[in-house]
Structure 1
Amino acid sequence: MDRLTTHTAGTLFGLHGEPAHERIVVASDAASGLQAVIAVYSTALGPAFGGCRYWQYASDYEAYHDALRLSQGMAFKNALAGLPFGGGKAVILRCPESLDRTELFKAFGRLVHSLNGIYITAEDVGTTSDDMRAVQSETSWVSGIPRADEAYGGNPSPRTAYGVFVGLKAAVQVALGRDTLDGVSVAVQGLGSVGWDLCERLHQAGAQLIVADIDAGRTTRARELFGAQVADVGRIAGVHADVFAPCALGGSITETVAAQCHFKVIAGGANNQLLSLDNGDTLQRRGIFYAPDFLVNAGGIISCVREYLGATDAQAVLDEVALIGPRVLELADRVRVTGVAPGRAAVAWAQEKMAAV
């Protein structure tokens, strides 16, 4: 069993030590090759809203529990962002490339439609705007659709990156007492859509970059364009830098990383960065400020929600995403008052908002 499933294992109905999910759907479609899990953690604040991940997993078990953990994170994310939606997530097991991708996502669209609006889907790791168009052909409960006749919509990754940027900047203010990022060293793990956009913003702000990615072409380009140092993917969590920004898959903050890393701030775009809240406690004891992923990477879901609700003003959406910065400062205040580590404090804050309805 790999490190992720070890920490997320529970029952068929929920995560270990957590309330049961409201609904978990496991479905397959022989004609398209679809194998999918949709997990609805909570609809306390409204229909569950969260992206669809298309990924290759070591086992069906791992995919199942990833969906459960991601859906819980979406519930916390939507609550802290003040959105009128609960939390859900879909995982599609990656199929052989020979399969018809359009038909695969049409089948997924029919699955989403069968839930009668309790779950609204959107892009996530491994999925694209074209995939969401295929989903849209079968259901209206989808976002992340490019709209040629409107000023706003489509790929939410740039808004995710912007939210991470403002959240990271606020976290630097908390931990380092600095109002700018000029000269601050940031280690960015993963140069996909979010990680690359974040690097562009950090470079423009004067940060010194250290980058890692499985694609050597991306790191070479980052070195050329941003003057970034390049680190090995397996070692970037061990470099010396002011900030660590995980922007790849989750689980980067292991027990070992939490106990040995050389950062003052951790703030990035990846979901589920902590393998467990215990690792967040370790960071807190070592004087490292962790800005929880479900707080700082909410820009993408804010984007998708506003698109879904009919927003066309791109600047208004960016202004809403910018509120992530003040929320990080508010979380820091809660941490100072309670002494509770940021990860646990953010979970409690989200649960307060969910319970208040």
Structure 2
Amino acid sequence: MRDPAIQAFRADVKQFCEKNLPRDIRDKVLAGQHLAKSDYVRWQKILFDKGWIVGHWPRAYGGQDWTPLQRAIFDDETSKAGAPWLTPFGVCYAGPVIYTFGSAQQKERYLPGIRSTDTWWCQGYSEPGAGSDLANIKTRAVRDGDQYVVSGQKTWTTMAQWADMMFALVRTSNDGKPQNGISFLLIDMNSPGVTVRPIISIDKCHHLNEVFLDDVRVPVENLVGVEGRGWTYAKFLLNNERLLGAEVGKSTRLLHQLRQTMADIREGGRPLTDDPHWRRRLGELRARLLALEAVCNEYLAAAEAGSTPGLEVSALKIMGSELIQGITGAMVDALAIKGLVYQTEGLEPGWQAPLVGVPGAPGMIREHLHDRATTIYGGANEIQRNILAKAVLGL
């Protein structure tokens, strides 16, 4: 990856973040503190003004026609810089599905709001009893004239409490294979019959929700593509989601934080960075990061040559999610040497009371707890291993 143009692009992204990422937002991210919706929106509007919020989209729809490699570099460098998670539900998921499979009316109506972050989206996939097994969804959409009447429940719906729109998989038929009766529907979250209830996760934070749909009326014009073809559009979207699961930039930033934490914690009169056990553990994590980067580079080289995503996305998802868990697990083990206390008050920006233990501990513990889900969302790693086994071994 020594192409001068690519190196210049990487330097451009890095410099842009140094100059334009608001310091208060960066400080919250690096400390693992709570971000408000306004923090995400402020950063994404800065990217919008630069023309980078949807850089990976085609120019015809307001993007920059970035190559897969440019997109990966952008994701890596913004994450390393401490930028907030680029909330993907509109930019990376709904938007590409709409401009690839949607009608001209849908493109005109929804794409501008996604680009500008004026419309906030959430993902209505998982249900009770239908997580990684999405073909088992039960939420029904029954045609009634020029509307669908939607009833059911979605769960683990990230940021639904802030959402204006949901893209959802709904069952429009029970005929044939389960996948054949699934459709892709765009639902206004302000519609009568939509109820959002919070789920407080293991990190004691609110970013997940249940969404109940009770006879919600959705215009037929909000159906994306063809009725019954939603499974095709869902697979297209999930390939994007699993590729993002590699998170090389985030792992790089967390590994640097782990190294600094080890330097700050002393045991037996010396920092953990001088302890052979901890040096070996850090080295093993570094080796795994290098291996992940190598697999990503192979994938990106193939994508640059015109290859479509295949089994690589499953491998990247497994490697990336388990590496993040390895790094944050090491963080917690290191913190535990001085006593492990999860002071959730320390996650609130501006909190000034004394912290117990190492500075930054609340954010590191929160990261560890939150990242227990990385091997579950986007298709559980067990499912990804089954995909690989079936394809490679014929099982």
- TM-score category by the smaller chain? under 0.3
* Higher Rg of the two aligned structures: 2
Structure with a larger share of its residues in helix? 2
TM-score of the two chains, using structure 2 as the length reference:
0.24
